[in-house]
Amino acid sequence: MIDSGASLYNRHRPTRFGDLVGQDHVATALTNALAQESPPRAFLFSGPRGTGKTTIARILARCLTCQTSDGPTAEPCMRCDACLKCGHSDWLDVVEVDAASSARRIDEMRDWLESVKYPPVSSRYRVTIMDEAHQIQKDAASALLKTLEEPPPHLVVILCTTHPWEIIGTIRSRLQHYVLRRPAVSDLVSVLKRVGESEGIAASPEALDLVARAADGSYRDGLGLLEMLSAFGGGSIETEDVTGLLGGVSREMVASLVASLASGDSAAAFVALEQTLDGGADPDQLIRALVSHLRHVLLLQQGAEAREEWGLTEQTLQELREQAQSLSEAQVVRALDLIADAQVRIRHGGADSRLQLELVAAKLGRPALDHQPEGLGARLTALEQGGAPASKVAPAPPLKPPHAPIEVPSPPEPPASPRPEPSTIQEPAPPAAEGSPAIPGGGEPEFESPPPPDPSEFAEPEDSPPPPPPPTAAAAPSGDLSWPAVISEIQEIAPPLAALLQGSRVGEVGDGQVTIAVPGEARRTMLERRSDSARIAQVLTRHLGSDVQVSYEVDDDAAAAIQEPESSAPLSEDELNARLKTYFNAEREN
């Protein structure tokens, strides 16, 4: 009998294979194994927490020890002592051992091995269920191995673990291994609904859906949350109770947030995030809800059909289909990548969950904030579609031109003679040569029109050679090449590389070859030796429309312009000290 004061999970634990939900593959395999004349004697059940490992082990023990049948059966009677007392500490034929505390070391394992030599008290088998079997130490596991190789005829061993890979391979090879799956949301909802009806708990379908998703694939957690929410709501559970007590997130909010992020409306996305998180929502649950929502959108974009395991209503599926048509696959994949990176930083780096969510919203709404290649791809996609890759923000007030003159009120003009005609205003005469007579009275010189130049002064000699024709650059493979735009793009992906290209220019372009003239031999050498110089050719290829190779040459004119002029004579000590003080803003200590 089950104590009426036990938890919901213990009161409603399945007792037959037919009561299992979401583990049909295990139930079918064990039912067929029990139909044999000599069933297996060693089993291994593995799976995530709360998926029913110990429950299935107890059902199997009942099937093996049921006293009303002539042998092992797939349908225990649930009336005999073996069926009713299974799982109780006073029933010696079915013993549950916590391997983490009672059979971990070699001495404890030896005591257990000594006890299982004796035949069962009143059943045909003596069953031992070892929970947390992965914590058995190496020496104890070696002692267990010998018993599994040659077990007594009455002994059945069932190991349960969440980490099957930590059990040594020689033991696993001697066990029938059954992997329990994480239940789908629809399976959890069906269990919660059945238990709620049995216990008289009134819960709306939306509330049960939120509880099932908060359980994260665990029957035990789901029933524990149901019991807690029932106590909180006095026997009834509403959606507001779940979101307020568990920090759950409604589907409507998730769909609205995804729509805001996809449209580039960062302001609306941040408002939705702030309202949701300030309202008590758990950031980790919000991340899981976003991942689940975007995963369903991506599956629909790939042509997948909606499955019952998704646990979605027809209205929710219709909303997902509309978003799958309005969003591009690249947007959905990039959103999932950013959220996955945020989860890694949260779990392994201890980053703040709320801040990581806000960073994801900022990068999705404004791809310019993401310096990764995926962010650049998002910006290019937005430009190809004719949209701006920035979020919808209020435009800043226009700035004045940097060299705009400052308007000041002009002083009143004194009375003067009438202004001359524009044609009479001439350029001022050059200053008088040394020795010229000064202007009497210290007045200003008069402005006079210079005499017309003699055309013969500008005539070229007859025997002078004609000037050479101006050099013409080779035509680009396709389109015009804007060198500043190329450097700006390189600045985004490789700032050190762009720094080396400052002051450079394009020399020759043609025949799949681009020559870049750089100021100085040192820069040419550094560019040729850098491992990331291939990015320059990639950027030029995108701008020119065809594959090109890049070579470098020294631009002597630019190099001379940036070099400091050499002094014709060595500096004296005083001049050197003066320059050092000026350059470094230093003072000499005595």
One domain for residues 191 and 168 = no
pLDDT digits (tens, 9 = 90+) for 363-382: 887 766 665 555 555 555 55
Residue 415 within any structural domain of the chain: no
Residue 463 within any structural domain of the chain: no
Mean pLDDT of 301-315: 78
Residue 393 within any structural domain of the chain: no
Cα atoms in the 13 Å half-sphere on the side-chain side of 228 = 14
Range of the domain at 235: 183-246
User: What are residue 105's phi and psi, to 5 degrees?
Assistant: -95, 165
Domain termination residue (choose one: 385, 420, 454): 385
Rounded CA-CA distance 466/455 in Å is 19
CA distances from residue 227 to 212, 300, 496 in whole angstroms, order as listed: 13, 35, 60
Residue 476 within any structural domain of the chain: no
Q: What pLDDT is attached to residue 367?
A: 66
Query: Minimal CA–CA distance to 94: which of 64, 55, 56?
Result: 64
One domain for residues 272 and 353 = yes
Rounded CA-CA distance 178/29 in Å is 9
Residue 456 within any structural domain of the chain: no
Domain at 547, CATH number: 3.30.300.180
One domain for residues 171 and 187 = no
pLDDT digits (tens, 9 = 90+) for 559-580: 555 444 444 456 677 777 776 6
Q: What pLDDT is attached to residue 381?
A: 58
Q: What pLDDT is attached to residue 99?
A: 83
pLDDT digits (tens, 9 = 90+) for 317-350: 888 888 888 888 888 888 888 889 888 888 887 8
One domain for residues 116 and 200 = no
Q: What pLDDT is attached to residue 461?
A: 47
One domain for residues 166 and 35 = yes
Domain at 197, CATH number: 1.10.8.60
pLDDT digits (tens, 9 = 90+) for 218-232: 999 999 999 999 998
* Angle ∠(166,170,172) on CA atoms, nearest 5: 60
Q: What pLDDT is attached to residue 521?
A: 80
Q: What pLDDT is attached to residue 429?
A: 46
Domain at 280, CATH number: 1.20.272.10
Residue 94 within any structural domain of the chain: yes
Instruction: Place 585 in a pLDDT band, splitting at 50, 70 and 90.
Output: low
Mean pLDDT of 80-97: 85
Q: Which carries the bigger pLDDT value, residue 467 or residue 293?
A: 293
Which residues does 574 contact at the CB level (< 8 Å), separation at least 6?
A: none
pLDDT-above-70 percentage for the chain: 75
CA distances from residue 526 to 334, 512, 558 in whole angstroms, order as listed: 35, 23, 17
Residue 215 within any structural domain of the chain: yes
One domain for residues 213 and 138 = no
One domain for residues 164 and 293 = no
Q: What pLDDT is attached to residue 423?
A: 42
Residue 284 within any structural domain of the chain: yes
pLDDT digits (tens, 9 = 90+) for 341-358: 888 888 887 888 888 888
Q: What pLDDT is attached to residue 178?
A: 94
Domain termination residue (choose one: 198, 213, 246): 246
Q: What pLDDT is attached to residue 273?
A: 85
Q: What pLDDT is attached to residue 589?
A: 66
Mean pLDDT of 135-139: 86
Q: What pLDDT is attached to residue 584?
A: 60
One domain for residues 196 and 121 = no
pLDDT digits (tens, 9 = 90+) for 107-130: 888 888 888 888 888 888 999 999
Which residue reads 């470094």 in tokens? 584
Mean pLDDT of 537-557: 83
One domain for residues 282 and 347 = yes
Most confident range, picked from 217-221, 240-244, 249-253, 393-397:
217-221
Q: What pLDDT is attached to residue 581?
A: 67
Q: What pLDDT is attached to residue 274?
A: 85
- Torsion-angle region of residue 202: left (phi > 0), alpha (psi -120 to 50) or beta? beta
One domain for residues 216 and 298 = no
Q: What pLDDT is attached to residue 162?
A: 92
One domain for residues 130 and 17 = yes
- pLDDT of 100 > 90? The answer is no
CA distances from residue 133 to 1, 58, 129, 165 in whole angstroms, order as listed: 28, 16, 9, 11
pLDDT digits (tens, 9 = 90+) for 143-160: 888 888 888 889 999 999
Mean pLDDT of 288-313: 83
One domain for residues 84 and 40 = yes
Query: Minimal CA–CA distance to 131: which of 107, 155, 167?
Result: 167
Domain at 66, CATH number: 3.40.50.300
Structurally, the chain folds into a number of domains equal to 4
pLDDT digits (tens, 9 = 90+) for 433-490: 444 444 444 444 444 445 555 544 444 444 445 544 443 333 344 346 788 888 888 8
